[in-house]
Amino acid sequence: MKEQNAIPTAAALLFLYVLTALTGCAPQQGAREARPTSDTIRAQPIRPNSAISEPVEVRILDVGQGDAILIRSAPAAGSAREEEHVALIDAGPANRIVGQLRALGVRHIDLLLASHNHADHIGGMDAILDSIPVRYYMDNGHPASTRIQQRVLERVEAKGVVYLQPRRRTLTVGSARLHVLPAPEGARSDDQNNRSLTVRLEVGRFQALLPGDAETELLNRLLETGEVPRVDVLKAAHHGSRNGVTPAWLSRTRPHVVAISLAENNSYGHPHERAMRYYCAGGRMVLRTDQEGDIIIRVDSAGTYTVQTERNRTVAPPAERGATTACSSYSAADTAAVEGR
């Protein structure tokens, strides 16, 4: 994983923080991010490990009511690195994520990122930190205000994981570029959802947007930044909640695929019917983890992608998108009505 400015300019490069070179030395205990010495983090030699079939696999894990998104990138052919590059965005609500990761062959995590610090996103963090080597940790920078967050941050320090500041930055994880978009100023300090980190994932021409539990307030602020592009895949904000989507958000992002991470019969009423009408409009492929299990997106180096779900075992190329199980109860007339057509 290496880091670079999202928009490299000569002036910006002068102030570029670069990650500490780790070749041959362990990170400091409880290290906070250090001043630059190199912009490349070289792999520690670990046995060859490439369980994925494309250069990049994005897997929206079925973790029940919560979020966990696994991003893996195979080592480039001919590179010195033999192990996969691995990032995990959020860790679901519980320890069982460790078993899920192990079953998928995940043996290390380069970057562990918490979109925000609610238990349905960081509940599995401490178990991961106890079980799987992690190199870098990033959260939204909010001071610990709950026991679970405190526990996670203590683990980060105790395990010598390097804490990365949640500023606007681009992290390279193999062939994937993760553009971190911190929440613009303005949200109340205790409003975790509206202080979610958003990640824009880029592989070739492929783009995905992962906005944590952003609510309308944050979605609107992000739109104002001009940094929200048209994307191929959108992770529905806030588990398909009514406050996690707006017509303006969808008309800017124009996703072909919408992935919603949630538990069946959850007590929050997710996904909200109105949100589903928005998402299902326009023939989008809408997939829910409670119906499909894991949602797997495989991306080649040019950015061509396919979508497969764990439970149905069906490969669904975006070109053949259309009515999906999640949208079967929303007619074309219903969805047209919410889009104002």
- The piece of 119-127, 137-145, 240-248, 332-340 that touches Zn ion (CB under 5 A) is 119-127
**Residues 7-46 as x/- pattern, contact with Zn ion by CB under 5 A:** ----------------------------------------
We find the least distance from the C-beta atom of residue 79 to Zn ion, in angstroms, to be: 36
We find the least distance from the C-beta atom of residue 62 to Zn ion, in angstroms, to be: 14
We find the least distance from the C-beta atom of residue 37 to Zn ion, in angstroms, to be: 36
Residue 270 DSSP SS3:
coil
Which residues fall within 8 angstroms of residue 280, CB to CB, at 6 or more apart?
286, 326, 327, 330, 334, 335
We find the least distance from the C-beta atom of residue 228 to Zn ion, in angstroms, to be: 20
Tell me if 120 contacts Zn ion by CB under 5 A: yes
We find the least distance from the C-beta atom of residue 121 to Zn ion, in angstroms, to be: 5
We find the least distance from the C-beta atom of residue 115 to Zn ion, in angstroms, to be: 8
- The piece of 84-92, 118-126, 161-169, 228-236 that touches Zn ion (CB under 5 A) is 118-126
Q: Whose Cβ is closer to Zn ion: residue 18's or residue 245's?
A: 245
Q: Whose Cβ is closer to Zn ion: residue 122's or residue 231's?
A: 122
Tell me if 126 contacts Zn ion by CB under 5 A: no
**Residues 80-109 as x/- pattern, contact with Zn ion by CB under 5 A:** ------------------------------
**Residues 168-207 as x/- pattern, contact with Zn ion by CB under 5 A:** ----------------------------------------
Cβ proximity of 22 and 8 under 8 Å: no
Phi and psi, residue 323, nearest 5°: -60, 130
Tell me if 290 contacts Zn ion by CB under 5 A: no
Could you tell me which of 99, 146, 106, 150 has the C-alpha nearest to residue 127? Answer: 99
How far apart, in whole angstroms, are the C-alpha atoms of residue 70 and residue 320? Answer: 25
- Is residue 29 within a helix (H) or strand (E), and if so which, with residue range? none
Residue 190 DSSP SS3:
coil
Angle at the Cα of 151 (from 117 to 244), degrees rounded to 5?
Answer: 10
Cβ proximity of 301 and 55 under 8 Å: yes
3-state secondary structure 296-334: EEEECCCCCEEEEECCCCCECCHHHCCCCHHHCCCCHHH
The neighbour count for residue 50, using CB atoms within 10 Å, is 14
The neighbour count for residue 219, using CB atoms within 10 Å, is 25
**Residues 207-246 as x/- pattern, contact with Zn ion by CB under 5 A:** ------x---------------------------------
We find the least distance from the C-beta atom of residue 43 to Zn ion, in angstroms, to be: 32
Could you tell me which of 42, 33, 23 has the C-alpha nearest to residue 163? Answer: 33
Q: Whose Cβ is closer to Zn ion: residue 73's or residue 243's?
A: 243
We find the least distance from the C-beta atom of residue 82 to Zn ion, in angstroms, to be: 35
Residues that bind Zn ion (CB under 5 A): 120, 213
